[in-house]
Chains A and B, each alone.
Chain A
Amino acid sequence: MDVTFKIRRYNPEIPGKDKPYWQEYVLKDVEPTNRVLEMLHRVKWEQDGTLSFRRSCSSGICGSDAMRINGRNRLACKLLIRDVGAKIQVEPILGLPVIKDLIVDMEPFFDHYRSVMPFYVNNDPLPADGRERLQTADDRAIFDDTTNCILCACCTTSCPSFWANGKYVGPAAIVQAHRFIFDSRDQAAKDRIDILAEPDGVWRCRTVYNCTPACPRGISVTRAIGEVKLAIMRGSPKGIINPKDIPTHE
């Protein structure tokens, strides 16, 4: 089948192209099971090498190729042509400065990420037997969902609160904080809770639910945010989640 790509372009180096504009490309012999990323490669390789976008793994795990495809944030490598049809509109994700074509400046996103102490803290002496700390399978299950995050920014750049105010840490950073707050071995939950209780923390979330369907890893983003909000209100993550309530994996 033939597929028409309509792509949002911008190149600050070239006069005339230094304002965002749309450009169309037609590809022939496209299979319904081809992936959007492969087809963007075909555009780039066969027709126009100036088209610029990030990508690496091509298997949905590195988080490089978040883009807005037919109005929704997707990873181009995880999306099949048959699921988007023969007319495909591609734009950069929203809310971050565009550098060139589909490439946006990720620094503000990573700054928010780094601001929530996204690392494990445990200052107790190591086990005397030189082995691992123990954790029950139930305690491990509590934060399983949020360990899936690949920092692709699909959630944060689909969030109206983030668009309105770039200082909001955004759902991805909250998901990352959740992963540690609810880890029974971690000891810095209180610090993270304090950070997220700030005005640009979780309370900027108005529970619009854009983020959850945007997540290519199927993380229940809004649920994680809700759990963090509850932890803040109670001043501690303890007892908020009953392992029995955790939905089975999907």
Chain B
Amino acid sequence: MQTHQFDAVIIGAGGAGLMAARYAVLGGAKVAVISKLYPSRSHTGAALGGIGAALGNLEEDKPLWHAYDTVKGGDYLTDQDAAMVLAEEAIDAVVELEHMGLPFDRTPEGRISQRRFGGHTSNFGEKPVRRACHSADRTGHMILQTLYQQCIKDDVKFFDEYHVVDLIMNNGKVAGVIAVQLGTGELHVFHAKALMFATGGWGRVWQISSNAHTLTGDGAAVLFRRGIPMQDMEFFQFHPTGLYGLGVLLTEGIRGEGGVLINGKGERFMEKYAPNIKDLASRDVVSRSIYLEVRAGNGVKGKNYVYLDIRPETVNRYLAEAGETRRIDDDHVRHALAETLDTCRTYVGVDPLTEPMPIQPTAHYAMGGIPTNVNAEVVLDANWTVLPGLYAAGECACVSAHGANRLGTNSLVDLVVFGRRGGMKMAEYVKQADFVPLPPNPAGEIEAELNRIRNNKGKSRAYELRNEMQQVMMDHVGVFREENGMKSAVESIKELRERYRNDVVIDDHGHKFNTDLMEAWELGCLLDLAQITAESAVARTESRGAHSREDFKDRDDVNWMVHTLATYKGSAAAIAGPINTELNFDKKVNLSLMEQDERFKPKARTY
């Protein structure tokens, strides 16, 4: 077994991890980045529409308006201090990306171009505002490439295709991580003063998902098993426009360009649900509207999907109706939505310039996750107690700037803003901290667990267990929820976890690139997160943001202006045994903006 020593180890090479790495290196720390994928394969590269920042390049905009939209979009579960940091530092972060070479699209004046995006408005909800900075519809690709390029320039040390499988703690202190080198199957110990988890989301808990196969929540699950709480797990966003049957994402930018949702009767149904900003209402609202349309029998051809229409003829008709002067044509769509056209043609043989696109909501984004403060330091409880040396940023973290529902373009902001803060903070921290000694045989437990999965003689193939879990979660812990369904989901997941523990079987018993083994290990992570998601969801007896209950239809600000913290009760381990989750609701939502400004007070959310 090899042991490596670094001041700071960053796990994950998506936008959050790379930004943190860059700043930790610039701050003078000796840094390693570990990633189970080559950095350029990270899912940040799939982000399409844009990164939000109140640059005001095309019309007046202010960080305070951005913060307001973020708080309102989050259905007031958003921590308002975090929303303000996000909105204020977004400007500088986006400009910094440009300085790193990111090829943003340009305005006629040569400035960064901006477009509209769901839930982003000027002047406290008055009208849609052009805030999403974009590079065609592959902004995430450009961010990922640019950050990776700059890391190469700065000579950041990468461990590519190393899969982190456990956290090393000693006497309650953070000492490092264990990773499998995928090419050889060997375990490596990474001994570090500071660790940052930037491992992305876990959309693969659900059956229809926009997420990569590799988005299995490893980082969150590993920390959970070692006693770190998970915050607000019941809030998982379903994006309204996934390609029907596949879940592949069609960007909100389509609606930003003027695209409209049309039901089976040819009606633009969002006029009913969000009379003001219609198709650009926030995601939870639009996803629910689609479900309601389908339920009312208004799906296309009686099925569970509707249309998204960007044909210039349709768009221009609605623009004219709304009294707008802007018009679009085929060429504009071809450039602005190049990825979309390619996706539709490739996967469903639809040309969006001549036909509408069939869509259904798709599991997309984890609002919850590893609780942190605005410096990306992991916090353990309602008193914001920091666990020294442990950091998290990006989708796996919960600061919580997104509250109960994230606005489009705010995740990319989150990555660069909090990744940067975390990187700086780590560089400072390692200057004064010592290495925590490694415990004896730090990899013993996880080695035994991997060998168990490798050689277990059972009957349940990992993919069958995964399919069942994904179906159960889709049916009962999806866009609409109610008590009995969710309780039955908890029971089903527990059963699946039993089978996973005792009866799982894989075919590949080797060591080199054992993808069979690693997929099965990842399934364990998904099962852990599915269970705490369902349990947190049962407990929250209200509807808020992405958590929408049929038995508790209203938001309950008297009892539920609090974050959920789910903690694993049992002795910390490399594997989660039968989970006994303890739920705690003492952590109050931060309302610092409201204290100065009435407009940030929770009120009914209409669009």
Residues of A within 8 A of B (CB): 11-14, 33, 35, 41, 44-46, 48-50, 52-64, 78, 80, 99-100, 103, 106, 110, 114, 118-122, 126, 130-137, 140, 143-144, 147-148, 150-151, 180, 183, 185-186, 218, 248-250
Contacts and interface: CB of A to CB of B under 8 A. Distances in A.
Given A99-B183, A119-B101, A59 B46 contact: yes
A9 to B, nearest CB: 12
A49 B99 contact: no
Interface string B451-482: 00000000001110000000000000000000
B212 A249 contact: no
A56 B214 contact: yes
B515 A52 contact: yes
B442 interface: no
B106 interface: yes
Interface in B100-124: 100-101, 103-112
Given A119-B152, A120-B101, A150-B141, A136 B46 contact: no
A132 B183 contact: no
Nearest to A126: B99
A87 B341 CA distance: 28
B136 to A, nearest CB: 8
A49 B150 CA distance: 38
Contacts of A12: 512
Nearest to B243: A59
A248 B512 contact: no
A147 to B, nearest CB: 5
A151 B40 contact: yes
Contacts of B149: 118-120
B133 to A, nearest CB: 9
A140 B45 contact: no
A1 to B, nearest CB: 17
A59 B109 CA distance: 34
Most chain B CB inside 10 Å of its own CB: which residue of A12, A100, A106: A100
B213 A58 contact: yes
B95 A35 contact: no
B510 A120 contact: no
22 contacts: A13-B510, A48-B507, A49-B508, A50-B508, A53-B515, A54-B515, A56-B43, A57-B43, A59-B248, A61-B45, A61-B141, A62-B43, A80-B347, A103-B513, A122-B99, A136-B110, A140-B103, A140-B104, A144-B103, A144-B136, A147-B103, A147-B142
Contacts of A249: 334-335, 338
A189 B99 CA distance: 17
Interface string B342-381: 1100111100000000000000000000000000000000
Interface string B66-110: 000000000000000000000000001001001111011111111
A45 B46 contact: no
A193 B342 CA distance: 33
B212 A100 contact: no
A248 B331 contact: yes
B358 to A, nearest CB: 12
Nearest to B463: A45
B153 interface: yes
Given A49-B508, A249-B334, A183 B103 contact: yes
B138 interface: yes
A64 B37 CA distance: 9
A215 to B, nearest CB: 12
Chain B: interface size category: 35 or more
A134 B95 CA distance: 11
Given A13-B510, A62-B212, A120 B349 contact: no
Most chain A CB inside 10 Å of its own CB: which residue of B107, B110, B249: B110
A217 to B, nearest CB: 9
Contact of B461 (A45, A57, A248): A45
Contact of B101 (A41, A114, A185): A185
B146 interface: yes
B38 interface: yes
Interface string B243-265: 00000110000000000000000
A72 B109 CA distance: 44
B510 A62 contact: no
Nearest to B338: A249
A62 B141 CA distance: 9
A56 to B, nearest CB: 4
Given A56-B41, A56-B213, A249-B338, 5 more contacts: A11-B510, A45-B463, A130-B92, A136-B106, A140-B103
B37 A59 contact: no
Nearest to A11: B510
B40 A119 contact: no
A122 B461 CA distance: 53
A62 B98 contact: no
B516 interface: yes
Contacts of A218: 342
B135 interface: yes
Contact of A122 (B101, B335, B463): B101
B212 A58 contact: yes
A62 B37 contact: yes
Contacts of A132: 95, 98-99, 104, 111-112
A133 B102 CA distance: 11
A118 B150 CA distance: 9
Contacts of B135: 147
B482 to A, nearest CB: 31
Contacts of B346: 60, 78, 80
B25 interface: no
B487 interface: no
Nearest to B107: A137
A222 B249 CA distance: 31
Most chain B CB inside 10 Å of its own CB: which residue of A78, A150, A185: A150
A114 B156 CA distance: 13
Interface in B32-61: 37-38, 40-43, 45-46, 55
Interface in B1-52: 37-38, 40-43, 45-46
Contact of A33 (B99, B339, B349, B513): B349
A110 B38 contact: yes
Given A56-B212, A63-B40, A99-B183, A137 B511 contact: no
A238 B183 CA distance: 44
A164 to B, nearest CB: 26
A182 B540 CA distance: 55
Contact of B512 (A53, A61, A99): A99
Contacts of A148: 138, 141
Interface in B537-587: none
A134 B109 CA distance: 8
Contacts of A14: 510
Most chain A CB inside 10 Å of its own CB: which residue of B105, B145, B338: B145
A57 B46 contact: yes
A35 to B, nearest CB: 7
Nearest to A109: B38
A99 B213 contact: no
A33 B345 CA distance: 12
Contacts of A120: 100-101, 146, 149-150
Nearest to B146: A120
Contacts of A45: 461-463
Contacts of A136: 106, 110
